[in-house]
Chains A and B, each alone.
Chain A
Amino acid sequence: ETGVTQTPRHLVMGMTNKKSLKCEQHLGHNAMYWYKQSAKKPLELMFVYNFKEQTENNSVPSRFSPECPNSSHLFLHLHTLQPEDSALYLCASSLTRGSVAFFGQGTRLTVV
C-alpha cells in the first residue's frame, strides 16, 4: 500500500463513452502525475500538476483531459477514445517535482 489510490482498477469503455479515472493521495504531496503504460513501450509521462497547477502536458491528445481540484485529488477525464488508448494508466504523487514518487495500482483501460 503506497498511499496512492486509483479507481476504478479496471475499465472497459466504448469509443463514444465518457468516463473518468480518479486518483487520491493523503500523503501531503504537492506534485501529482498521470502516466500511460502500454505493452512493449516505455512509461509515458502524460501530465504533471504541481500545487494544483498543470505544469506539463506531454503532447497528449485532447480526448484526455486532466483535472486537479485540490492537492489530494487528480482526475483524468476520457472521451471519444481510440482502441490504441487501451493501456494501464498510473497515477503518482511526490512531495516535490522530481522527488521520490509513489504510484497507485493503476487503472487497466480497455477501449472497444
Chain B
Amino acid sequence: AQSVTQLDSHVSVSEGTPVLLRCNYSSSYSPSLFWYVQHPNKGLQLLLKYTSAATLVKGINGFEAEFKKSETSFHLTKPSAHMSDAAEYFCVVSVTLNYGGSQGNLIFGKGTKLSVKP
C-alpha cells in the first residue's frame, strides 16, 4: 500500500530564511512523487515532480526537493522564504509499475501550512 506522511502540520519561518517542509512516503513500487501548493481559496498548483530521473528536482518559485530512497523521504526546500510563499503545501505519491505504466490514484498528505513572518 502507498501512503504519504507530512511530518509538520504547520511551519513558520521569517522572510529570507530557509524553508524545509518534510515528507515521508511508503510505496511497494517505484513511486512518483509530487509537491503541490495551494494558496487561500485557490486550486492546487504543481510545484515539482519526481518520476525516477534525477533525484534532486527543481520546481517553480525557487523550490526544490530531493528524493532519498534510503530514507523514503521527499522533503521540500527553498533557500530564502518570500511572503508570497505563505500557503498550504501537499506532498503526493503515485505508484508507477515496473513497465512504466501507472496505476491507482494520487495519494495526498494532510498538508503543511507555511507561514512567513516579515
Leading 4 A-B pairs by shortest Cβ distance = A98-B102, A103-B43, A98-B94, A103-B44
Evaluate contact between B105 and A56: CB separation under 8 angstroms.
yes
Q: Is the interface of B mostly helix, strand, loop or mixed?
A: strand
CA distance in complex: A103, B45 (Å): 7
CA distance in complex: A79, B104 (Å): 29
Please report the total number of B residues contacting A with Cβ < 8 Å.
24
Question: Quick one: which of A47-84 are within 8 Å of B by CB?
Answer: 48, 56
Q: Is A13 part of the contact surface with B, judged by Cβ < 8 Å?
A: no
Report A's interface with B, CB cutoff 8 A: 2, 4, 6, 33, 42-43, 45, 48, 56, 88, 90, 92, 94, 96-106, 108
Evaluate contact between B102 and A42: CB separation under 8 angstroms.
no
CA distance in complex: A56, B107 (Å): 14
